[in-house]
Chain A
Amino acid sequence: MRRYGGFLVLVALVVLAPIVFPGNYFVTVVGVTIAFNALIAVGLNLLMGYTGQISLGHAAFFGIGAYSSGLLTTLMGWNAWLALLAGLLAAWLVAEMIARPILRLKGHYLAMATLGFGIIINILMVQPTHITGGPDGLADIPTLTLFGWAIDSDIRWYGVATGVMLLGVWLALNLINSRIGLALRAVHGSEVGAQMMGVDIERIKVRVFVVSALFAALAGSLFAHQQGFISPDSFSFHFSIELVVMVVLGGMASTYGAVFGAAVLTLLPETLVVFEEYEVLILGAIMMGIMIFLPQGLWVSLSQKVKQIIASNRSTTNPSAIS
């Protein structure tokens, strides 16, 4: 129970938000974007937070999912769910293919390689205009139908997006608490050390990389159907960076932190619109500020504070409760 207390709180938040604020733009519209971003961030956090590997190219997997769904449904007339599966398959294949050579790289070399991979995939979306629609994008992507029930309103999309996001969080939590999770933490601590303990590091790193790619591709497929239109700008280097910022902003190695980071970074531009031209400046300052002063991330630092306060309250009211 205690293990999943946080998860229940998250479920309650997700369910209550549209009831308390019915039809609110920030819940039903921005909420969907947050859910997609959170799903990717939770996956990326598995990679970054638990294996200590960075990826500056995860927008590519998001894009592979989105373009698979978009192209297969519009050009080939596939069933949307089949296309979604094909998108996952494509992301899985690509991730399997590049994971081994890329994950052999360390630190900044890995950053460069993933960044380069993201840029290559983006160019593949831009250049073959006759297939992908090029920079003008791919339009008229049909919406999803679930048991004969078209997901065509914001609130329905809210349900689907947050549902999938919660599923992703649940999976991630289970993965972390499993034997693989233990091995993962060993890898993060010290690769050589873990290897000596008999952990097949390379295989685990590759697996986690693939899982995080699948999370992103799933979000991408859903995103394509929700938007009805996709273009390469949504899957650029900038978005890869944003994803990394979401993970780090929340606090690495914290699944809830990733969700929180995704929420903050998605809401930030929406609220910064009032600052107009200062928006870019403020965004940069916030990124720097948080990393300098709260290197553990916003979520982890905040939750530690809260725990401290609770603990000190308890100790004052009931000193014997400490044990």
Chain B
Amino acid sequence: MAINVKKDGNNATVSYSGRLDTTTSGDFQKALNQVISESIDSLTVDLRDTDFISSKGIRVLVAAKKEMGEKNVTIINANPAVTEIIRNLGLLRLFGMN
């Protein structure tokens, strides 16, 4: 599991590689909270190297969105399996996916 944070002004991109599940979601949440606390305007989550995401991982992302309030949290580069999970939970729109 690896988490990478890139900042471009007040916009942050967090890349996650590995599995976003019961075991690993805790660390991911800590990382996201850290980034959000730095008062960013938008958050992009790059899941290109995320193998799969379970409900624990989803919850972390949803919590992040709640924290961000009106500001955008966008998920990009999700593979078909991840996309399907997010779609099944009706969250595509929330995370700016088509």
Same complex origin of A and B: no
Residues of B within 8 A of A (CB): none
